Structure 1
C-alpha cells in the first residue's frame, strides 16, 4: 500500500516500501499539465496507479518524467502510458524512450524548461550519476530538486520529510552500495545543483530533505563515494 505526503505546493510524494528497508518514491505535480516524476517498479504499478488516482485523474496526466531507464525509475512507464492517453514520456536523449509506447517522447536538452503551469521543470543532464542517461529535474517555482538517486537514504523511520541532517546516513549508504561510477561526473552534477540553490531535495529513496540541504552537498564533495558493487535492489 502506497503512502502519500504533500512535500511542496501541489507536489506529492507517493512512497512504497520494500524489503529489506528499501523504499521507492514517485512524485505527482498537480498543475495545468499534471506530471508524474518517476514511475516505480512495473510489479508495483497497480499500487502506484491507485495512489496517483487519489491525487489526480490518471487520464489527465500530461508528462511522465524519467530521470533514467532503470526498473525503479521507469519500470511502470509503459502501463502508465497505456492508461493515460495524452501522456508523453520526458527524458534526455540518452534515455532512448522511443520504444516505451506508441507516442513520441519529449526529449529535453540540458537546462531546457518544461512549463506545467504554476510549476516549471528545468532539466539537468547529469551523465553517470549514476547511469549514462541520468537526468535530474528542478522545479523553479518551489525550489524542489527531483534528485533521483542522489542524496538517497534508507527510510528506517518512514519519515516522508526531514529537516534533520541525515548526511552521515547518506554517506554510509553510498559507501555500501557504490552506485556512482565517476567522481568527476558526480562533482559536475553537484556544480549544477549548487548553482540552483535548491530548498528541497525530493529523493527517490528515503525521506525528502528540506531545510538543511548544504550538508548533503558538502558530504558528497568531501568524500569519494564512487565505485561499483554487485549490490542492486533496484531491479524489477
Structure 2
C-alpha cells in the first residue's frame, strides 16, 4: 500500500510503511511540465510505486529521476523507471555520476554541481554536495528554490508510521532513531567529521521551508534551525572522539 499526500504545491509524498522495520520509505513526485521523481525506491517496490505515480501523472512522462546517494532504496529501481519513461534522465551529484551511476544506469546521468540549475517548468533545482551526510562520498541534497523545499534523503531519519507532514520539531525523534541505529548492526551509519557542521550550516543558509524526509514525517517550518540543531545531534551520537 502506498499512501499519497500532497505536502506542498505539486509535491506528492508516496509512502510505503515496512512494518517489519517499523520504518517508512518515502518517495517524492513533482508534478510539472517536466515531472521529477526523487527516490526510485527498491526494485521490489517498483510495481507499487508505479501504480501510485500513475494516479498523479502518466509515468511515461517522467523527465527527471533523482536521488541523494548510491543506495538501493535511493536508486535501486532506476532502470525499471527508465524502461517505462523513455525521455527520463537520471540526476545526481557529479561525484555520483562519475563513480557509480553511469556504469549502473541504462542511460547516462546528469551530474550536477551547485552552479547548475535544473528547471522543470515552474520549479528550479540545485544539487548541493554533502559528502557522508547522510551517507557516501557521492551524497547530495536537492533544493527547490521557488518553494524552498529541501529533499534531504536520510537526514532526520526517524522510525514509525508517522504523519505525512508536521510542524513539530523533528530533532527528538531523529535523535531517538540515531540512538537505535548506533546500538545495532548499523552502528556508525552516519559518521561525524570535521566537515559535518559546516555542510549543515551551508544547507541551513538556504532557509528551507519544507523538508522532504525519506524515513519519517516531512516538515514545514523553519528548516534552517532544524539543520543547525541536527549537527549537534549527529556529533553527540556518532563522534567517535567523544567516546
- Pair in the same fold by TM > 0.5: yes
The offset of 1:200, in angstroms, is: 0.8
The offset of 1:212, in angstroms, is: 4.4
In the alignment, structure 1 residue 48 sits paired with structure 2 residue 49: yes
1:157-192 deviations in Å (ceiling 9; x for gaps):
x30001112311111212332421133232132122
Contact 2:128 2:142 in 1 (8 A): yes
Distance 1:147 1:74 in 2: 15
In the alignment, structure 1 residue 140 sits paired with structure 2 residue 145: yes
Runs of at least 4 residues off by over 3 Å = none
Distance 2:148 2:203 in 1: 11
**TM-score relative to the length of structure 1:** 0.90
Deviates more, 1:92-101 or 1:55-64: 92-101
Distance 1:90 1:67 in 2: 9
Distance 1:127 1:169 in 2: 23
Distance 2:127 2:220 in 1: 21
Contact 1:93 1:108 in 2 (8 A): yes
| Structure 1 residue ranges without an equivalent (≥5) | 229-236
Contact 1:182 1:226 in 2 (8 A): yes
| Structure 2 residue ranges without an equivalent (≥5) | 182-187
The match for 2:129 is 125
The match for 1:167 is 171
Which aligned pairs between 1:28-47 and structure 2 lie closer than 5 A?
A: 28-47=29-48
RMSD between aligned residues: 1.7
Contact 1:60 1:84 in 2 (8 A): yes
In the alignment, structure 1 residue 181 sits paired with structure 2 residue 191: yes
Query: Would you say how many aligned residue pairs link Structure 1 and Structure 2?
Result: 227
Distance 1:214 1:191 in 2: 8
In the alignment, structure 1 residue 226 sits paired with structure 2 residue 213: no
Which aligned pairs between 1:22-171 and structure 2 lie closer than 5 A?
A: 22-95=23-96, 96-129=100-133, 130-156=135-161, 158-171=162-175
1:113-168 deviations in Å (ceiling 9; x for gaps):
21111011111011111211101000111111000011222233x30001112311
The match for 2:185 is none
Contact 2:93 2:140 in 1 (8 A): yes
